[in-house]
């Protein structure tokens, strides 16, 4: 996960709608099942899905009143905390 990418996706959601991101995730999840897809391509799709999912989580926090910077930092702390365990 990359914070600048998550921030950019959050800004996209705020300008447009989170449904775009949800539908993009559904497409990527379906694409994983395609025949002949390479491991490197699966890695890229997985990274995109992680960033989309993270952006949706951050957006949810922002909608509940958390300032964007605080929501982004809080999300990354949760992620790094779960990795360290």
Q: What are the backbone dihedrals phi and psi of residue 64, each rounded to the nearest 5 degrees, phi first?
A: -85, 5
Return the DSSP state at 18.
Answer: H
**CA–CA distance, 25 with 53 (Å, rounded to integer):** 8
Average pLDDT of the chain to the nearest whole number:
93
The 10s digit of each residue's pLDDT in 2-25 is 999 999 999 999 999 999 999 999
pTM, two decimal places: 0.88
**CA–CA distance, 42 with 74 (Å, rounded to integer):** 28
Let me know: does 63 contact 35? Beta carbons within 8 Å.
no
Q: Average of pLDDT values for 31-38?
A: 95
* Residues 6 or more apart whose Cβ sits within 8 Å of residue 5: 51
Residue 83's pLDDT is 64
Q: 67: which 2 tokens? A: 């300032």
Spell out the domain ranges in the chain.
3-84
User: Quick one: pLDDT band at residue 79, thresholds 50, 70, 90?
Assistant: confident
């Amino acid at each position: 996960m990359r914070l600048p990418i998550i921030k950019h996706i959050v800004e996209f959601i705020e300008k447009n709608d989170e449904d775009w991101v949800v539908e993009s995730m559904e497409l990527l999840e379906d694409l994983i099942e395609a025949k002949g897809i390479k491991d490197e391509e699966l890695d890229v799709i997985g990274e995109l899905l992680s960033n989309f999912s993270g952006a949706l989580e951050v957006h949810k926090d922002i909608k509940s009143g958390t300032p964007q910077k605080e929501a982004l930092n809080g999300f990354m702390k949760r992620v790094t905390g779960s990795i360290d365990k």
